[in-house]
C-alpha cells in the first residue's frame, strides 16, 4: 500500500473555504485537513485495487456527532459516524474498500452535518502494477517490498525468500528500466515473463 498525506495534491478538498488545516506530532507528517461544514467534500482519483482512509477523532465535546458518506465509484455510499471522544483518537480507519478491479477509481467523502468535525490524516492505496516504477516508489521502498505488498493485496502467497535474494549487480542493471522491473517482478512471483 502506498501512503499519501492529507496535503498531497492528488486529494481535492471542495469547496476550499470549507476546509482548514491542522495537525500535531501524533498525526502522519504532523498534518490534517478538517471541516465542520455540511456539503464539504474530499475527492481522490486513483488507479489501483484498494483504498483506505485514516483520520483523527476529535476530543472537542462541543462538536456535534458527525455523519459522513464515503462513495466509491458508483457503489452504494458507506456511512461513517462517530461521537467526539474524551481524548483524541489518532490513525482511526474511517473507510476501507474491498479489493477492487484494477483500473481508475474515484473515492468521495461528503460531510452531512454542520458543526460536526471530520479530520483527514492520510490515505493508503494499492496502485496498479503499471503505476509502479523506480521513480514513483516512496523513499525506502524496495522492489521486494512492492512485490510482497502487491501479492498480499491480491490474496496471493508472498514470494519465497529464495526468489527475492538481493543482487547489487542485478539491481544496478535493472534500475530505471520498466521492462527490467516487470521481468524481475515476474521472476519474484515465480512466473515466466514469456519472452
65 SS3 class: coil
Total domains, the chain: 2
Q: Tell me the C-alpha distance between 90 and 55, whole Å.
A: 7
CATH of residue 107: 2.60.120.260
DSSP-derived secondary structure letter, 56? E
Cell numbers at residue 32, please? Answer: 490534517
Whether residues 59 and 136 share a domain: the answer is no
Q: How confident is the model at residue 111 (pLDDT cuts 50, 70, 90)?
A: very high
List the Cα angle 47/3/72 in 5-degree steps.
45
H/E stretch holding 83 reads none
Bridge partners (DSSP) listed for residue 3: 124
What average pLDDT does the segment 116-133 reach?
85
Q: How far is CA 164 from CA 12, 104, 130, 146, 188, in A?
A: 38, 30, 20, 11, 6
Q: Which residue has the higher pLDDT, 188 or 117?
A: 117
Whether residues 90 and 57 share a domain: the answer is yes
* CB distance 31 to 23 below 8 Å: yes
Lowest mean pLDDT among 92-106, 124-138, 173-187: 173-187
Whether residues 24 and 83 share a domain: the answer is yes
Q: Of 107, 126, 145, which residue sits at a domain end?
A: 126
Whether residues 108 and 164 share a domain: the answer is no
In a domain, 23, yes or no: yes
Q: How confident is the model at residue 99 (pLDDT cuts 50, 70, 90)?
A: very high
DSSP structure string for 149-168: HHHHHTTPPPPPGGGG---H
What average pLDDT does the segment 162-177 reach?
44
Give the other-Cβ count within 10 Å of 174's Cβ: 18
Q: Domain span at residue 90?
A: 2-126
* CB distance 19 to 13 below 8 Å: yes
Amino acid at each position: 500500500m502506498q501512503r499519501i498525506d492529507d496535503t498531497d495534491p492528488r486529494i481535492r478538498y471542495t469547496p476550499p473555504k470549507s476546509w482548514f488545516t491542522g495537525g500535531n506530532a501524533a498525526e502522519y507528517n504532523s498534518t490534517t485537513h478538517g471541516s465542520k461544514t455540511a456539503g464539504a467534500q474530499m475527492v481522490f482519483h486513483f488507479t489501483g485495487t484498494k483504498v483506505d482512509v485514516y483520520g483523527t477523532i476529535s476530543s472537542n465535546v462541543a462538536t456535534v456527532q458527525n455523519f459522513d458518506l464515503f462513495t466509491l465509484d458508483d457503489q452504494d455510499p458507506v456511512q461513517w459516524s462517530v461521537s467526539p471522544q474524551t481524548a483524541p483518537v489518532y490513525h482511526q480507519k474511517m473507510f476501507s474498500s474491498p479489493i477492487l478491479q484494477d483500473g481508475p477509481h474515484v473515492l468521495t467523502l461528503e460531510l452531512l452535518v454542520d458543526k460536526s468535525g471530520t479530520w483527514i490524516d492520510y490515505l493508503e492505496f494499492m496502485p496498479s502494477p503499471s503505476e509502479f516504477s523506480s521513480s514513483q516508489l516512496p523513499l525506502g521502498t524496495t522492489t521486494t517490498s512492492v512485490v510482497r505488498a502487491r501479492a498480499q493485496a491480491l490474496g496471493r502467497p508472498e514470494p519465497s525468500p529464495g526468489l527475492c535474494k538481493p543482487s547489487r549487480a542485478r539491481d544496478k542493471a535493472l534500475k530505471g528500466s520498466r521492462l527490467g522491473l516487470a521481468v524481475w517482478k515476474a521472476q519474484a512471483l515465480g512466473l515466466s515473463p514469456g519472452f
